[in-house]
Chain A
Amino acid sequence: EVQLVESGGGLVQPGGSLRLSCAASGFTFSSYWMSWVRQAPGKGLEWVANIKQDGSEKYYVDSVKGRFTISRDNAKNSLYLQMNSLRAEDTAVYYCARDCETPTIYLDVWGKGTTVTVSS
């Protein structure tokens, strides 16, 4: 079964750091771009970042550039999101998702999400 399982969420103070993980199974992880998407409480979906199969290309939404770092370990079938200098507006459920590129690009597999709360 194709599966993504996020972990690492929690309560953190403003200015703090957190590292999210996403464990992939059931597919060849190293063959896919991967994304992080977040959803603030009561709000819509926001794409946060994605990373190429070999980790050589990484892209971010403007609001997290310089604070968040996406990475992956293909040997461990794992995706990561290092979040620094966290702000209250980063409070959200964070989902990892698989980018499928045929014939166009879409997010075809999603994890259940992990909740990040930034509050003092």
Chain B
Amino acid sequence: DIQMTQSPSSLSASVGDRVTITCRASQSISSYLNWYQQKPGKAPKLLIYAASSLQSGVPSRFSGSGSGTDFTLTISSLQPEDFATYYCQQSYSTPHYTFGPGTKVDIK
């Protein structure tokens, strides 16, 4: 089974900060990596698919990069509405999917 890890597990940042979250797969997953944002009490929302493609309607301050085993999600200038938990997910082993443990971004 493909295992996903994320770092850090949580971070504190200020509005306007550049934030980077890392996701690592236990084996190569090519570009089959997606990123989701989840706010408390809400459903997850797709941000990035295929490692670097921005989902329609998602602000351009979000970007993704990487391939193989190492991936990053970057928020170029953190906004108040971006405080949330972020999950990576691999779909390389389709139809079985695996999510990372999540990274909580809160206010410094």
A interface vs B, CB < 8 Å? 33, 35, 37, 44-47, 50, 57, 59, 61, 95, 100, 103-108, 110-113
Contact = CB atoms under 8 A, between A and B. Distances in A.
A107 B31 contact: no
Contacts of A111: 43
Interface of B: 31-32, 34, 36, 38, 42-46, 49-50, 53, 55, 87, 89, 91, 94-102
B49 A106 contact: yes
Interface centre among B96, B100, B102 (most CB of A within 10 A): B96
A47 B101 CA distance: 12
B45 A61 contact: no
Mostly, the A contact residues are: strand
Interface of B is mostly: loop
A50 B46 contact: no
A56 B10 CA distance: 41
B22 to A, nearest CB: 16
A33 B95 contact: yes
26 contacts: A33-B95, A37-B44, A44-B87, A44-B99, A44-B102, A45-B36, A45-B38, A45-B99, A45-B102, A47-B89, A47-B98, A61-B96, A103-B50, A103-B53, A104-B32, A104-B49, A105-B91, A105-B94, A106-B50, A107-B44, A107-B46, A108-B49, A108-B55, A110-B43, A110-B45, A112-B42
A106 B91 contact: yes
Contact of B97 (A35, A103, A112): A35
